[in-house]
Structure 1
């Protein structure tokens, strides 16, 4: 056992106005039984007490160090963490989330074989302590990067988040998060998986994804909502360049992204930009045939697509009813 390789893991945690959660996050990391890791807290110009709490944690624990920077967004904070990381592998954890105690030891045992570029797990959706999807059947499997990207796009077995994935640092030599964009994980995971030779995944959920009402993933319509379409357009271009066999899967996500923006626009009663709304409607109507044939869309979503072909008012009526029943989440 004395000759066992124990590669160092750099834990990068962006911090912005999360004074209620950051201590819980860091404590969950420090409770890990894996012996070789560091914690990098990147305070992204927090306006509450988050920065001070980061300093206190750094003073208290030798494994923790802090970088303070002007506010530039999560992508910039993560990128700075990558530059500062001393580890052989990197993991990103959002500062309002937390992890189970044996996550690092259970996942790093695969990294320590020198076989894998990436090792990933699943997450639990945590709504103020109420955990959703916690009874998932545990499946462990190896995959090349392109097959993993296929599963991710299909919504099977592999979550799309950049978190809950341990990544070999050498893989990140030319890959960074896009600054100034939301849905940055789409860009990042696309690039990473297109460059992964072999990865290991488990559907066991070690990562607690904490849902807050004001997080960017639950926001109502804004101009930033269009970033999700930009993100999947980027993915489409990269996939068609390197892995065109995934065309069906990335088109599904591109259609889905247009539905997301249209739904947010309609549910937010946003009527000030009819031209943009009409562009979304025309795009979805133009691709109606492909949407109906796509096996990845739910029956509820296909019914909505048919309603849209009739008129937008009918679509909005069914959408509002469907959202109340949580029937058209896909």
Structure 2
């Protein structure tokens, strides 16, 4: 790849209490086979030794540290990184994950050659405590057929760390993560897909996702209730962009989220979750959002449509059966 095709890439890494994982994460970024990168580390007032761990990485001129004055959360840290980014492309890496050592090289190559706004890729999950080494060999991924995406993009996982994005797309549209809510990747994912002209997908596991017990993806507590607020934000985006063709895809995502929430949320939060599910269902129905038919969607749709006394009884039975 010649010098004209080596654009600067901004890698945004939010950091909060990840002392034990930070070295592995930053090393996998610093050791990328593509060198023209800036690594924007946004330190969100950690209370452990994360700052001390960061110190040796600052010897690399490509690592730029931004310290928040007060703890503001993941969304705010990512937004700070977006504002600071100088690269032609932006990507996000969570500070407990690792990336394939040729990830950026691959993404730049495909983005430059095909003039792509957005590239997505797959991930491989691993249990916390297992030691993995990110690969640099391209032989296992370079032969994969890169897929040009249209609406199929919206079937993918919402995670911000599965995206390689042309920076002017984010900045010109003022795309930011909602502050104060969990599952903040949803609105960013949907709006990004709505404004990106060319979207490609590399069907290879280029990110190693660490599964931690404290992860919100496995939460059963109050954090789950934020998903209903997030659903409303995305619904408003679809209405704003008049994305009629995506109504079905969004409805399916909402219904599968309802299944996940109502079958695993703490029992003391079940009534509130059920009421929130009923509210979004009413809005979807009024706006003529329809969903596909599969067994989980049928079951959860029936439960949500019934009076609470019946809904709660059926949920109790369903939750019992699923735990067996």
Residue segments in structure 2 that go unaligned for 5+ positions in a row:
133-139
Aligned to 2:257: 257
Q: Alpha-carbon deviation of 1:260?
A: 3.3
Aligned to 1:18: 18
Of 119, 141, 148 in structure 1, the residue corresponding to residue 147 of structure 2 is 141
Tell me: CA distance 1:230–1:279, structure 2 relative to 1, closer, same or farther (3 Å): same
Aligned to 1:327: none
Distance 2:80 2:281 in 1: 42
Tell me: CA distance 1:3–1:18, structure 2 relative to 1, closer, same or farther (3 Å): closer
Distance 2:169 2:278 in 1: 40
Aligned to 2:135: none
Tell me: CA distance 1:85–1:3, structure 2 relative to 1, closer, same or farther (3 Å): closer
Which whole-Å deviations, capped at 9, do the CAs of 1:245-288 have from their partners, x for residues lacking one? 111111222233333332333xx2216x84x2552475599789
Aligned to 1:159: 157
Q: Contact conserved, 1:122 with 1:202, CA < 8 A, in 2?
A: yes
Which whole-Å deviations, capped at 9, do the CAs of 1:148-194 have from their partners, x for residues lacking one? 443x2xxxxx3211112111110111111111111110011111111
* CA RMSD, Structure 1 to Structure 2 (Å): 2.9
Q: Alpha-carbon deviation of 1:95?
A: 0.2
Tell me: CA distance 1:112–1:251, structure 2 relative to 1, closer, same or farther (3 Å): same
Q: Alpha-carbon deviation of 1:35?
A: 2.0
Q: Alpha-carbon deviation of 1:306?
A: 4.9
The TM-score normalised by the length of structure 1 is 0.82
Q: Contact conserved, 1:221 with 1:270, CA < 8 A, in 2?
A: no
Aligned positions of 1:120-135 closer than 5 A? 120-128=120-128, 129=130
Which whole-Å deviations, capped at 9, do the CAs of 1:38-61 have from their partners, x for residues lacking one? 1111110100001221122113x2
Aligned to 1:270: 268
Aligned to 2:79: 79
Residue segments in structure 1 that go unaligned for 5+ positions in a row:
153-157, 325-330
Distance 1:201 1:193 in 2: 12
Tell me: CA distance 1:85–1:210, structure 2 relative to 1, closer, same or farther (3 Å): same
Which whole-Å deviations, capped at 9, do the CAs of 1:47-95 have from their partners, x for residues lacking one? 0001221122113x22212111121001111111111112110100000
Of 268, 292, 295 in structure 2, the residue corresponding to residue 295 of structure 1 is 292
Tell me: CA distance 1:175–1:260, structure 2 relative to 1, closer, same or farther (3 Å): same
Distance 1:163 1:123 in 2: 9
SS at match of 2:51: helix
Distance 1:120 1:235 in 2: 20
Distance 2:125 2:203 in 1: 13
Q: Alpha-carbon deviation of 1:208?
A: 0.8
Aligned residues: 302
Tell me: CA distance 1:126–1:138, structure 2 relative to 1, closer, same or farther (3 Å): farther
The TM-score normalised by the length of structure 2 is 0.83
Aligned to 1:119: 119
